[in-house]
Structure 1
Amino acid sequence: MRRFLIAALLAAVAPVSVHAASVITADRYLDVATGRYVEHPAIFVGDDGRITGISDARTVRFSDAIKHIDLPGATLLPGLIDMHVHLTSLAEIGGYRGLQYTDNFWMAVGVANAGKTLDAGFTTVRNVGSANFDDVALEQAIDGGWIAGPRIVPATYAIGATGGHCDDNALPPSYDKKQVSVVDSPAEARAKVRWLHKYGAKVIKICATGGVFSLGDSVGGQQLSLEEMKAIADEAHMLHLKVAAHAHGDEGIRDAILAGIDTIEHASLANDATIQLAKAHHTWFDMDIYNDDYILATGTSNGTEQESLDKEKMIGLKQRQTFQRAVRAGVPMLFGTDAGIYPHGQNARQFAKMVEWGMTPIEAIRAATISAGQALGQAEDVGQIAPGRFGDMVAVKGDPLQNVRLLEHVDAVVKGGKLVARTVPAP
C-alpha cells in the first residue's frame, strides 16, 4: 500500500504530458459559461496560440521547455471583446477639425489606438467602419507581428444612403464627392457587399438611420429601406458574413430586425414592441451607453459641432432607458463602446455603466466574452477560457463579480498564450 501511495504521488507531480508552448497559472479563472471560479488553474497553450488543456496547478510539474507565465494573486478572465470600435478615429479631434490632417494621419493613430486597446485587455475587436480599408491594413500588420494590437474583425467602409449617416454632409456642393460606401437601391447594396468582401471585410456595417455625429440629418430618421437592408443581409449571409446596423430610430431598428440583420448598434429609441421583436428574432443589441458621459463632459472643446451635441443631449438618457428595458425583457446583449467617440483604452469603463443600468456583473462580462464570441460567429475561437479557444486572457487582482470596475485597470494581458508587453500606460 505504501508503494502504491508513493507511486500515485509521483504520478501526480510528474511533468505534464499536454503538448504546449506556454502555461499560464493564477489563483483562479472565471468560467463565464457557468459564472463560477475555477481555482488553481494551469492553462496550457500550444504553438498555434490555442488552449490545449487545463489542469490543476497543484498536481502538475511543468517541463522546462514550456514558457511559464505565473500570475500569483490574479483572477483570470477571457480576453475581452469590444464589438463596436473605430480604431482610426480620435475623440480628441472632432467635427471640421479633422480636415486639418492628411488622410494617412488616421492610419498612423490607428496603430497607437490598437496598442492602447490591447493594453486595456481587449484582445478582440469588431471595427465597424473605417476609410481606405485601414482596418484591414491594421489586421494584416497585427496578425503578421509587425505591430501590437487585438484581433480585428474589419468592416471596412460602412454602407449607407446618399446624404445619410455614412455619407459626408459636412461640405458644400462644390466639394461634392459621392462616398464609395453609398448605395441607393437593393441592387447597388448587393454589389457593395461583394466589393467590400473582395477587399477584406469580415463583417458588413450599414447605417440604417441618422446619427449623432452626422450633420443635417435626424438622429432617428430611417435612411435605408427594408428592401435595401434585406438585400445586404441576404448577400452577406450567403458569403458567411454577419451584418451590423447602426440604428437609433425605432422604425429603422424594426426594419433591420425584419431584414435579418444580426446586431443592432446603439438601438437608442427602440420601443417595447421592437424590443420584443428583437428578443423573438434573437437579434443582438449592442448599445454604447458609457460614451454619453464623455460627449457631454467635453462639449464642443474637441471640435464637436453644437448640432451633434444637441442630438446627444436628446438621445443619451433615452438610450440608457432603452438598454434597461431591453435587459429586463431578455434581449441578447453585447458589449460595444463606440471607442473613437471617446478615447481608446478606456473601453472597460462601460462595464460599470451596464451594471448601473440593470445588468449583473456576470451578465456584463458575458456581453464582452462568450456572447460576443457567439455574435461574431467565432464561439470556437474567442470568448471563453477553454480547450480549442485562443489563449487570450486578462488578469485582475480581486473579484470582478463583486467589483466590475476592476476591469478598468487590468494587471496583465495574455494573447495567444504570450504575455503582452504593455508599453502604453493604463488609463
Structure 2
Amino acid sequence: MNWTFMFLLIITACSNNDNLLNEDDEDNATLPTPDKPYAIVDTGVTDFYSDVALISKPSTSNAFYGQDASYAGNQPSYTNNNNGTITDNVTGLIWEQNMEEKITFEEAFLKAENSTLGGYTDWRVPTIKELYSLILFTGKVKGEVAIEFFINTNYFDQPLGNTSIGEREIDAQTWSSTEYVSTTMNSDATVFGVNFVDGRIKGYPKYHPRTKAANTMYFRMVRGNTNYGKNNFIDNGDGTISDLATGLMWQKSDDGTSRDWEESLTYAEGLTLRNKTDWRLPNAKELQSIVDYSRSPKTTNSPAIDPLFDCTEISDPEGNTGHYPFYWTGTSHLDGANPYSSGVYIAFGEGQGEMNGTLMDVHGAGCQRSDPKSGNINDYPQFFGPQGDVRYVYNYVRCVRTIQQ
C-alpha cells in the first residue's frame, strides 16, 4: 500500500468540494494511518436507552451506563467528490455514491472490473468489513417497513425493495465480496451482505433455492485503503489481545457467563483486567471488526474468530454441542413495536433459526442481528421471524478498551 498516494487522493478529493461533513466538525475526522489502517467509524448513536425506553443520559453509577452513546469514537465524516463518488474521511475508502438496479453476484464483479467511475479503474466489490463500515445505528425500522435508513442518505442513495413486484421494503440487501465458508439453509452457497434498511448482516443464498437462478441484490463499488478490515492481533500474555490495526485491546476469553443486556453493561463497566478499569461493552462495529469470516463451526471446527481468542462452547436449542454464543454489543437496534427493546449482537457461531421444524444455520457465523434486551431466562431460547431466528436474550460478553497513546 502506497499510503502517501492514498492520502494525496483523499486530500485532493477534499479540496475539490465544499467539504460537507456528517453533522460533525472536520476536527473530529480521523484519517487512517500506516500503523492504524483499520480505523472504525462510530455508529453515530447519541441517544440513550434502557431495556424498554428512551432515557436521559445515565451517570456512571446508574443502570444502563456504558452503552454505545456513552463513548464517542471516530465520528462519521464524508466528502462528496462531485463525480459520483464519496470519500469516507475516517477509513480512507472511496465509494460509489449511487446504486443502480439489483444485479447478481457475478455481475457485481464484472461491473467493478470494467468501471471507470470518477476516472478510476481500481474499483472492487467491498468485503463485508468494508461494507459494514458504512452502517449507522441511527436507523429505525418496524418489521418490514423502513422508517429511517441505517446509512447517511445525505451522501449515499439507498433504494428500497420493489413493493410493486411483491418485495418488502426491507428487501434491499447489498452484496459484499465475502462468501460464507460454510452453507446456510438447505446447503445453499451463501454470500454475506448488509441491509442498510433494516440494520443487519446476514448470509444470503447466491442462488434461488428452488429455481437455482442467480439471486440479485444491490451493489456499491469501493476503492482505496486495501488494508481496511485486516486485523493485526498481538497476544499480550495477560488475558488481553491487542489489535494494532484498529487500536483496540480485547478481553481474550469471555467469562463463561450469559447475561441480559443491562447485566452485560454492568459487568463490562466493572471489569478490571491488566490493571485497567476502562473496559467497556464494544459497539456493534467494534465487535464485528474481530470476526474472522474464513472460519465457521462446520468448516474449521471453530467459531468465526481468530484462534488467539477463547470462546465458551455451548449447546444449541436441541442440545447439540459444538456451538458458540452470541455476544452482546452496547448498541441498540431500533426495530419492532417497541424500538428501544432490542440490542445488537454478533454471532461468532452459527446464526441459527428453526424453519419447517428443522434447526439450521440460516444466516451464517459472523452475522449481526438483535435480541430483546431483557426477559425471563427460563423462557429462552425462543424462535422469531420468518427464518425462526434463535433468541437467547442471555448472551455472552467480550469487553474492549481503546489503547491509549
Which protein, 1 or 2, shows the higher relative CO under an 8 Å CA cutoff with sep ≥ 6?
A: 1
Larger radius of gyration: 1
Structure 1 or 2: more helix by fraction: 1
TM-score by length of 2: 0.26
